[in-house]
Structure 1
Amino acid sequence: MRFYYGEKNLHRVLDEMEFWKHQESEHTVVIREVASDLEPAFVCRLQQFELAFQQTKGLTVRYIETIIRSKGNIFPDMQQQMMELVRFAICQSQQFILLLNQILAESAAAQNNSAVSVVVNHIRRESEYFIGIAQTILSC
């Protein structure tokens, strides 16, 4: 993590979001590579999440740059927008976890290949970790 935020928890969670949204985007690729026979509907949804994670990361980076340029002095309306992005990012990860659970439950590619199941479960735990970190930082 960067150290531009001091004790400011919103700044800390944005820093975490930048990292984890990058990870989640990469994870969509990993799943598609490991499960080469994954059903087309799941492939499509993973591709949609990949793009969505990249967009969320991009917006997060823009907010981080704003904080750095302003030396942490941000207007309340900008802070509110950042909080809304954090809530959105948490919800986005929760929706991704639902998709991962659906893949494990319904995909023959996951059910017939233990490596796919292990990878998807690992990725799910990482997204759960991000949610936990974000919620913990915000509650401090």
Structure 2
Amino acid sequence: MQFYYGQQMPLRILDEAEFWKHQEEEHTVVIRELVTGLEPEFVDALKKWEQALGETHQQVIRYIESVVRSGNQVSEQLQQQVMELVAYCLQQSEGFIQLCQQIKTHSAAVSSNHTAKVVLVHIIRESEYFIGIAQALLTSGQQ
């Protein structure tokens, strides 16, 4: 993500968060559908993550609407709330990655499914990409 967006920056990072939270939500379904015989504890965890990611996705959409309504006059308070939401999204992505790594490492169903392993690595990389964007924004926002 480029950092020359100026006043559009809150909207730009929210667009990224909206996209990636939706992706992660969909990834929970992809994993469940791809891995035949996935252990029930992982299926349950993925369903809980799907719900949590969906809730975060909706929260991001509400913030996008707030920023759009504010026009070019994003208050300091709204800017701070956006940064806090981005930090939360980052932490949530880290937790989702941990679950994906646990599934990749500890699931017998995945251990015998090369495609599932490849897909899990891809999903992890995508979430890591969002984390990189979020960390860059949070770091630049602290300066």
TM over 0.5: yes
Following the alignment from structure 1 to structure 2, what is the Cα–Cα distance between the partners of residues 6 and 86? 17
- Matched residue SS, 2:6: coil
The gaps in structure 2 that reach 5 residues or longer are none
- 2:58 corresponds to 1:53: no
Once the two structures are TM-superposed, the CA of residue 81 in structure 1 deviates from its matched residue by 1.8
Q: Does the CA contact (< 8 Å) of 1:110 and 1:117 recur in 2?
A: yes
Question: After the TM superposition, which of the residue ranges 76-85 and 124-133 deviates more from structure 2?
Answer: 76-85
1:92 corresponding residue in structure 2? 92
Once the two structures are TM-superposed, the CA of residue 138 in structure 1 deviates from its matched residue by 3.5
Runs of at least 4 residues of structure 1 off by over 6 A? none
1:65 corresponding residue in structure 2? 65
Q: Does the CA contact (< 8 Å) of 1:12 and 1:137 recur in 2?
A: no
Amino acid of the structure 1 residue aligned with 2:6: E
The gaps in structure 1 that reach 5 residues or longer are none
- Seen in structure 2, the aligned counterparts of structure 1 residues 74 and 98 have a Cα distance that, compared at 3 Å, is same
Give % identity.
51
The normalised TM-score by structure 1 is 0.91
- Matched residue SS, 1:73: coil
For the aligned residues, what is the CA RMSD?
Answer: 1.7
Amino acid of the structure 2 residue aligned with 1:73: Q
Question: After the TM superposition, which of the residue ranges 41-50 and 73-82 deviates more from structure 2?
Answer: 73-82
The normalised TM-score by structure 2 is 0.89
Q: Does the CA contact (< 8 Å) of 1:10 and 1:138 recur in 2?
A: no
- 2:112 corresponds to 1:112: yes
Once the two structures are TM-superposed, the CA of residue 62 in structure 1 deviates from its matched residue by 0.7
Amino acid of the structure 2 residue aligned with 1:7: G
Once the two structures are TM-superposed, the CA of residue 133 in structure 1 deviates from its matched residue by 1.5
